[in-house]
Copies of this chain bind each other. A is one copy, B any other.
Amino acid sequence: MKPEPITFEPIGVIRSPFQEVAGTPIQGVFAPEAEGTVEVFEQFADGLRDIEGFSHLYLLYSFDRTQHVSLTVVPFLDDREHGVFATRAPCRPNPIGLSVVRLLARDGCRLRVGELDILDGTPLLDLKPYVPNFDSRPDARAGWVAAVAGQQRPPVADDRFAGE
């Protein structure tokens, strides 16, 4: 297959307290108190009908503060290098971020969310309902993440993946 480029336009923007990579939570589950707002552009308002029935959402977004690609990375949770596809690091060939957030309230096209691990101003590409019957795999095996789970690590990022 000849890979053809695929172009997306943001459908909104994510507002959060996090202006810089350093200090941003590395996963939402580590930041229950981190709240922000998903601002969906007005022309997509009809697409949000019934979203308030879900307690959690998937956000898909552009890692727009990471400009470089690295196929191997030392992730925040480990001292050892792993393939980028075996991590959630942003310096991926296609820098698409995926987060599970908690939906706290809806005001029209503005969704107040918690458990947020995303930088302020991040372009939103898509949002989907989190459905535990589809998406919850509590017994999944977590490879190197499980192996380092006993270590004490800061639950926030540093700037190793920022910039060029």
- Which of B3, B8, B51, B92 interacts with A5 by CB under 8 Å? B8
Copies of this protein, total: 2
Chain A stretch 123-148: residues in CB contact (< 8 A) with chain B: 123, 125-147
Please give me the residue from chain B that is nearest to A29 by CB atom.
Answer: B134
B1 near A123: Cβ-Cβ < 8 Å: yes
- Tell me how many residues of A have a C-beta within 8 Å of chain B: 73
- Which of B11, B131, B145 interacts with A140 by CB under 8 Å? B131
Cα–Cα distance between A50 and B98 once the two chains are bound (Å): 20
Segment at the B interface, from A16-24, A79-87, A156-164: A79-87
- Which of B52, B54, B83 interacts with A48 by CB under 8 Å? B83
Cα–Cα distance between A17 and B3 once the two chains are bound (Å): 21
Provide 29 A-B residue pairs closer than 8 Å at the C-beta atoms, listed in order of the A residue: A1-B10, A3-B10, A5-B7, A5-B9, A6-B62, A6-B123, A7-B7, A9-B93, A44-B71, A46-B83, A47-B84, A47-B86, A48-B83, A50-B83, A50-B143, A52-B143, A55-B137, A56-B140, A60-B94, A85-B127, A86-B129, A88-B134, A96-B96, A129-B143, A129-B145, A130-B137, A132-B138, A133-B145, A135-B135
